[in-house]
Amino acid sequence: MDHRDRKPATRLGHAGRDPQAWRGAVNPPVFHASTVLFDSVAALEEGDRHPFDTFNYGRVGNPTADAFERAMAELEGGYRAVSVSSGLAAITVALLASVKGGDHQLMVDTAYRPTRRFCDTVLAGFGVETTYYDPLIGAGIEELIRPETRALYMESPGSGTFEVQDVPALTAAAKRHGLTTMIDNTWAGSVLFHPLAHGVDISIQAATKYIVGHADAMLGVAIARDKPTFLRLKRMAVMLGNAAGPDDLFLGLRGLRTLEVRLSRHEENALKVARWLEGRPEVARVLFPALPEDPGHALWQRDFSGASGLFGIVLHPVPKAAVAAMLDGLDLFGMGASWGGFESLILPAHPEKLRTATTWDAPGPVLRLHVGLEDPADLVADLDAGFDRLNAAAAGGEGA
């Protein structure tokens, strides 16, 4: 039976593994290698003819990378995958493999901030024009496609504000015009949403987040739907000199084995915390498509098989110092970039500064929460004490 026909939890246990190749060991070894030796001129030439199917040089590939890439291609239903040194590297490789000077591309307005920055600086400098579009535009994207448009980039749910995109409608419109379509699929951890099944050409994963899952490695991967797309991605990554380190690839492989279990616990905990937050008087809105009240819920339910642990809340207007009083004193929620590890995190978000095609006009501050694997009752108690500090600071501020 082909693993592709099995359920995700089963596939995650077996994808990319080949114990017979490693003398029976369950996991592949970590290959620390730069030079690869050949025993004849004929073997060297044969290697040159198949640069991406054999091991020729450490930067181009090694058996640890191959195991991780085979697992990711299987998980996302792609032809092959390209692993690189970070999620952002996977994004920049995918963009550089899809557009060139004189081209135009369509970028979702709620893209991860460094993705926007890359388009506005490096790609703009190379003569690539970017039009940002409303994440909720759906089939209306067709009106933004020009003769020189080459690529459509999606990210769903959107960074910071969690709008769900109609990926099938967007992709269908893009295909009618021959565009390359790509998506940042990090929120879904490659398990909860399968973009390639909806016609997307390249699925991008910041494996740093849920796949590694323990906040201890940087890793990115781009999964290609077909061979020509794979070759464009792989050649670009090799030309840029971008390769993931073998220890990080090993941590990515290790993370995959527990990914489904961790994601379902993240979802369960996140729903408990989100529902509690919905009932709080300080909270104006919870931005989480897994909740029936969320405007993206219907699309999420149609296309996703579950939710991860990352969502947002909009507070009623309060002074900045009151938010700081809440966050500074939290015990279990850490403050810092990245997410997808076992621990809970919280950060102020500033969506109004990160969009140009749409506006964000909620009057109160936005917080982004990552709900980790701790007991949700303890997380709620931590936030409850935080709201006490927020309210005390807000009342003190008024009196002053």
By CB under 6 A, name the binding residues for ligand PLP. Answer: 86-88, 112, 159, 184, 186, 206, 208-209, 218, 220, 338
Q: Does the annotation count 184 as an active-site position?
A: yes
Minimum Å gap between C-beta 263 and ligand PLP is 15
**Among 187, 191, 193, CA closest to 171:** 193
Active-site residue, selected from the candidate residues 4, 18, 53, 59: 59
Pick between residue 159 and residue 358 the one whose CB is nearest to ligand PLP.
159
Structure tokens at 338: 């990245």
DSSP string, 93-143: HHHHTT--TT-EEEEETT--HHHHHHIIIIIHHTT-EEEEE-TT-GGGGGG
Pick between residue 56 and residue 181 the one whose CB is nearest to ligand PLP.
181
Max CA pair span of the chain = 84
Active-site residue, selected from the candidate residues 109, 166, 184, 294: 184
Is the bond into 157 cis (omega within 30 degrees of 0)? yes
Pick between residue 12 and residue 93 the one whose CB is nearest to ligand PLP.
93
Pick between residue 75 and residue 212 the one whose CB is nearest to ligand PLP.
212
Pick between residue 212 and residue 325 the one whose CB is nearest to ligand PLP.
212
Q: Does the annotation count 226 as an active-site position?
A: no
**Among 19, 18, 15, 20, CA closest to 3:** 15
Residue of this chain nearest to ligand PLP (CB atom): 87
Minimum Å gap between C-beta 91 and ligand PLP is 6
Q: Does the annotation count 59 as an active-site position?
A: yes
Task: Give the three-state DSSP class for 82.
Answer: strand
Q: What H or E segment, with its residue span, contains residue 73?
A: helix 63-76
Minimum Å gap between C-beta 360 and ligand PLP is 17
Active-site residue, selected from the candidate residues 80, 150, 209, 285: 209
Structure tokens at 143: 């009106």
Q: What H or E segment, with its residue span, contains residue 81?
A: strand 80-84
Minimum Å gap between C-beta 204 and ligand PLP is 7
DSSP string, 315-357: EPS--HHHHHHHHHT-SSSB--S---SSS-EEEEE-GGGS-SS
Active-site residue, selected from the candidate residues 103, 112, 201, 257: 112
Minimum Å gap between C-beta 225 and ligand PLP is 20
Q: How far apart are CA 110 and CA 243, in angstroms?
A: 28
Pick between residue 75 and residue 91 the one whose CB is nearest to ligand PLP.
91
Minimum Å gap between C-beta 108 and ligand PLP is 11
What are the catalytic residues?
Answer: 59, 112, 184, 209
